[in-house]
Structure formats: C-alpha cells, structure tokens
Amino acid sequence: MSDLLDTVRGLAKKTDSKILMVVLDGVGGLPLTLGGDTELATAKTPNLDALAAASQLGLAELVGAGITPGSGPGHLSLFGYDPLHYVVGRGALSAVGIGVKLGAGDVAVRGNFATLGAGRIVDDRRAGRPSDEKNVEIVAKLREAIAEIDGTPVEIYTESEHRFVVVFRAVGGVALGANISDVDPQDTGVQPMTAVAHDEAGAKTAQLVNTFVARAEAALSAEPQVNGVLFRGYSDVPHFPSFDAAYQLRAACIASYPMYKGLASLVGMDVLPVEGHEDALEGKVAALTENWAKYDFFYFHVKKTDSTGEDGDFAAKVKKIELFDALLPQLLALKPDVLCIVGDHSTPSKLASHSWHPVPFLIHAEHGRKDVANRYTEEEAGRGSLGLRKGTDIMPLLMANALKLNKYGA
C-alpha cells in the first residue's frame, strides 16, 4: 500500500455513520470563450447551490499537475489508491465489469468501434455511438471472423455503445505481455496507430493486436459507419488491497457502465444490480434506497456528464448537470452522514476530451467548518476552504468527517 493508505488502514474504525460518494463523471469543464461560464456555472442548479452553501468545497488533482487522468486512474485516486502506484489498464476493468474472468497470462483490451474514411483516416473514434443492439451485431460478425490468431484463442465481448472488450488467452503457460502501445490515436483526421511492444513479453501481444485490427477491418468493410476498431488500455490480471481492509467499510457500487463496476469489483466493493438504462438515474436511486441499511459506503456513478462533454455538446452537458440537480433531493432525503460530490476528471465540451483541469469537490458533513463558497462550480470550489488537494486526500477527509478515524500517535 502507499504510505497514506497504509496509515489510514491503521486508524480506521467501524461506526454506524454512512458515506455517500457521488461521482459526476467528467463534470469539470471550460467556458466556450475566455471569461465565460463553464457548463457547471451555466447550469441552473438550485439544489446544488443550496447544498454548496452548507458544505466545504475544494479542487482536486486526480493524478498530478498538468496530467490528464483516464477514468481508471481518476477513480482509483478518489478511492484513495495512488494511481501512479496502482496501475491497471482499461481492458481489465471493462472485462471484470462484464463478468469475464481473467486467468494468469491473459491480456484484456478495451476497444472502440470507429468510422474510418478514405485512406483509413479516423473520421469518428466512436462510430456515432451505435446502439447496444448494433454493438452486439458487430461483435457477432467479429466472432465469426476472428476466433483465434496463430493458435491464440480470442474472445470478443460487447460492453456498451461503441465499446467492446477483447481477451487474448494465454496458451501453454506462456504469459502474454500487456506493455504495448495503443492503436487508438485519440484524435480524428489521422490513421490508427500500429501496436508496438515496449518489452519482450509484449511482442506476441502486439502482433496479435495488429492482426486483429486488419482482420476486423476486412470483416467490417461493408459497414457504412462501424468499419474500424481502435484499441487502448491493455492489461493483465490486476491486484489491489481491499477497500474494506483499508477503511473498515462495507462498500457498495451503484453504476451501469461495465468499466466502473469492474473497478469497484477489483477493490472489493459489492456491485449492486441497477435496473434501467444509464441515462435514467431513477434505477440507481432505487438501488441506493433499497440497500441503504446494508452498507457503510456507497459509490454512486453518473456517466452522461462525461459522454456529452466527449461529444463536444456544451448544452447537452449543462442539461445532464441540471437533471442530476433535480435528483439531488432524493439523495439528501436518505440523510447520509457525509456526502461527497466530485468528478473523476474534467471533460470540457470545448475540448471534447478529458483534460488536466482540477475537478471541483464538495463535502457535506456535520463536522465541517464554515466555507465562503456558495455554488458547486469550478470557480467557487477554487475559493473553498478545502483548497487544492490530491485526489487521494478525499477518502481520508470523508473518513474523518464521518468520525471513522482514530487519532494518529500519542
């Protein structure tokens, strides 16, 4: 464990208090014009405003100054795991999230379906966000075309929308390496990249990936929109210290997207069933309410604040923030002893991608000090009493506000 996580583990104690962490994925933003308002500041959020006026606020850097976090490192930081020490690829998170078991030596890869134009130029990294039904149809085509590559079994799974997962299975006790470069250029107007091994163990995996890409493009050549694949986030079986052991908490995850369920599962949270589509938050509120008495800690994930930012749709992101604001009274009615609202990274609509900007976070608890911030926005959070923090500081702060930490030293 990292020093802070190890220290907290030694101080943590069980109590009856309850902690609710709401992660508004990618909630941090930017104004469309310099000096204007961000998505959070533009949104009409009377419930968040009232909560902020009675809470402590600050800004968090999830990995480090100037470093843009992926969703995996961002969430690990929020859960108190130093993302520079505990490294896991997106592939394993997605695989575990959809219930795929990984064995020693296997490598899981997160894929995007993409739209490729003339000369294999990437026109759309997400192929127009196809429906889950279209995803299943495309995955079936790929399974017919690519069941194995040079004797290596290949498994292909639907995740959601444009996302899919590929697992390359180790054969004969020979482990596949995961240290290879991405195929996804994370940009449009350029060609997909060629996977390159960074060490000897990854050489075979890189070859498998490049062969898969070529076969997939051939199999999907007649598709008008979903005609290419992009890979990133290669990973083998990760191992993390138990969340329960670190914090003396019985923790539950309420999320819809497989990757987030996978990450919660890897740190030892119980993943609760959620009914309904991701965009309908009512199913998540129902799962939270039904299980409120059973757990000490709840991780409640809201995805669409990120998706709309990635799509570059400022107005849609504002709307998703306002929809969460309308939902907030139902969460407050449960009377959590400590409520945290935070993002796992910023996704400004202006950039249509993740960014390095610190995320605003809010802690509402009986034992907080008076704060000058009065809205949950980036600017107000910058004025807040909690200041600029590392993401890994948040869990110890929540534990302290819930009176779940003993004194350190004599």
**pLDDT tens series, the chain, 410 aa:** 457 898 999 999 999 999 999 999 999 999 999 999 999 999 999 999 999 999 999 999 999 999 999 988 999 999 999 999 888 777 888 888 788 888 888 999 999 999 999 999 999 999 999 999 999 999 999 999 999 999 999 999 998 889 999 999 999 878 899 999 999 998 999 999 999 999 998 999 999 999 999 999 999 999 999 999 999 889 887 778 899 999 999 999 999 888 898 889 889 899 999 987 666 789 999 999 999 999 999 999 999 999 999 999 999 999 999 999 999 999 999 999 999 999 999 999 999 999 999 999 999 999 988 899 999 999 999 999 999 999 999 999 999 999 999 999 98
When the candidates are 3.30.365.10, 3.40.720.10, 3.30.43.10, 3.90.180.10, the CATH number that belongs to 3-86+240-401 is 3.40.720.10
- Whose tokens are 């929809």? That residue is 323
DSSP string, 330-346: HHHTT--SEEEEE-SSB
Burial class (CB within 10 angstroms; exposed 0-12, middle 13-18, buried 19+) of 260: buried
Cα–Cα distance between 299 and 192 in angstroms, integer? 35
One-letter amino acid at 52 equals A
**What are phi and psi for residue 44, nearest 5 degrees?**
-90, 110
The CATH code that applies to domain 94-235 is 3.30.70
CB atoms within 10 A of CB 140: 12
CB atoms within 10 A of CB 197: 17
DSSP classification of residue 392? G
Cα–Cα distance between 373 and 395 in angstroms, integer? 21
Half-sphere exposure of 92 (CA within 13 A, CB side): 24
Domain ranges in the chain are: 3-86+240-401, 94-235
By three-state DSSP, how is residue 246 classified? helix
